[in-house]
Every structure is written in C-alpha cells, then in structure tokens.
Amino acid sequence: MRKIVAIFCWALFALAVGLFAVGYFALTMMRIPQGLGMIYGMFTAHWIDTVMACVLALLLSFPFTRRRFWFSLILSFLALLSSYWGLACIHITNTWTVNGQFQCRFDSRWFFTVSLVLAILTLSFAVWKRWRSRYVF
C-alpha cells in the first residue's frame, strides 16, 4: 500500500513541477498575458509541489536507510525553501468592497504558512529518525 501511495505522490509531484515550469515559461519567455486562471493554476501547482515534497520526504523517512535519508533531507529542504519563497514573494489576494463591507475571499499566505510548518516538521522528523537510528544499533 505504501508503494502505491509513493508512486501516486511521485507522479503528482512530477506533474505539478511540469505544470509550474510550463506556466512560468509561458509567462516569462513567451510573454503570454497574465490571466487569473493561469495565475491560480501556477499557484496551485507550486503549492502541490511543496506539499508533495513534504509527503515524499515523510514516506522516505519511515524505512530508514542512509540513501533514503539524503533524499528525504533534500526534499525537506526543497519544501522549506519553496514554502518560504511562496510566503515571501507570492501574494495573491482577492478582495473587494461591497456596500461598505470589506470582503476577502482568498489570501495565499495561509497556504504557504501551512506548508512551511509542514516542511519544518518533515525536516525535523527526518533528522530525528537519523539521530535515533544512529544510537539504536
């Protein structure tokens, strides 16, 4: 069951990386006008990449081996840097004022705050598993 979940997570991770790369290429190199759907799509792909990197790092940390530790550490750092970049540089808000009432439907900072916390937990879990396995044997 864990292998099926891992294959699904790797496929989703690769698909989201590809979609983000195509969107970034289309916006920067081809100078396609920015549409709301494209921006939301790239945001979603970036966030899914970050979360899938955390999930894959956790899956690689459970059966501890030295090679898997380095992969999980790299994925954890990738998720941590990606979450920080999303929190610092990506600000998508959908706000408006109707009849004197301010309404905010969407704020991207909360998504990257959650993924940043998840990345920190994943990194600490991988390091804890490595430290614990060193003293068990």
What residue spans define the domains of the chain?
2-136
pTM: 0.79
d(CA 47, CA 111): 7
What are the residue ranges in the chain where pLDDT is below 70?
A: 64, 95-97, 102-106, 134-137
Give me 30's structure tokens.
Answer: 């081809």
Q: Which of 74, 71, 18 is nearest to 46 (CA)?
A: 18
Beta strand spans in the chain (E): 93-98, 101-107
The pair phi, psi for residue 105, each rounded to 5°, is: -90, -30
CB atoms within 10 A of CB 49: 24
d(CA 95, CA 76): 33
CB atoms within 10 A of CB 15: 14
- Maximum distance among all Cα pairs of the chain, rounded to whole angstroms: 68
d(CA 86, CA 20): 13
> Rounded to the nearest 5 degrees, what angle is found at the Cα of 18, between the Cα atoms of 13 and 20?
95
